Amino acid sequence: MSGIALVRKPGPRLAEGIVTHIEREPVDCERAAAQHDAYVRALAGAGWRPVYVPPADDLPDGPFVEDTVVVSRRLAVLTRPGAPERRPEVESVAEVVRELGMRSVRIAPPGTLDGGDVLQTGPTVYVGRSARTSAEGITQLTALLPERRVVPVVMSGVLHLKSAVTALPDGTLIGDPRRVDLPGLLVPEEESGAHVVPLGGDRVLLAASAPQTAAMLEKRGFIVTKVDISEYERIEGCVTCLSVLIAD
């Protein structure tokens, strides 16, 4: 599989990004920029062509592009983030998806939806009901994706659904059963091991902070690429939220 990877470079205010369920820690912005470059190189090495959303240096959470758009085939659902200060991030992403020739629709007020609460696997779209994603937002997304099966998910103690669970290429859900009420979860060895980006075929991207989970996945036949995103983990980020993959 190949396609486009939407990404946005981190800005100088990255350390001011919103944190909800962890204590704030200092962030080395220079190191974060180098880690982002390495992350993008890993995506490119797996066949995903990077397309950069314009910089947003005044928006600390700007590199977390996943929260701004949900892509289903060639439809881009532009979100309405639950944190009002993050809503300005959406417009520059909207411009890029239009330039890519995608059809776009929007989550409308009063609904809120963060892309990090949306987990797609096969015909199913799991959506976490969180502090950032409202019931109205889920209802709107369901109406916008009539060909998909949208499943609301109860969750606790995490910022987004994909902070707790993601999907492996074979459809297996990997995550923390203490945080989400989903059957048949494969439990990772580390918390960050719940964050997997399928890269196509048997390839997956995983944070370097989850070496035991990487070994477990390799034993299951997956090819694991590990990237260091420690500066983003300090502000509640993970490998999924730094890109949006759009398959050809």
What span, in angstroms and rounded, lies between the C-alpha atoms of 142 and 206? 29
- Measured between alpha carbons, how far apart are the two ends of the chain, in Å? 8
Distance of alpha carbon 236 from alpha carbon 111, whole angstroms: 23
Residues classed as catalytic: 160, 241
Query: What tokens were used for 204?
Result: 């997956």
In sequence order, the 6+-apart residues with CB closer than 8 A to the CB of 99 are: none
Phi, psi dihedrals of residue 16, rounded to the nearest 5°: -90, 5
Tokens 């590199």, located at residue: 63
**Alpha carbon distance 221, 217 (integer Å):** 7
**41: phi then psi, degrees, rounded to nearest 5:** -60, -35
Of 202, 219, 199, nearest to 211 by C-alpha is: 219
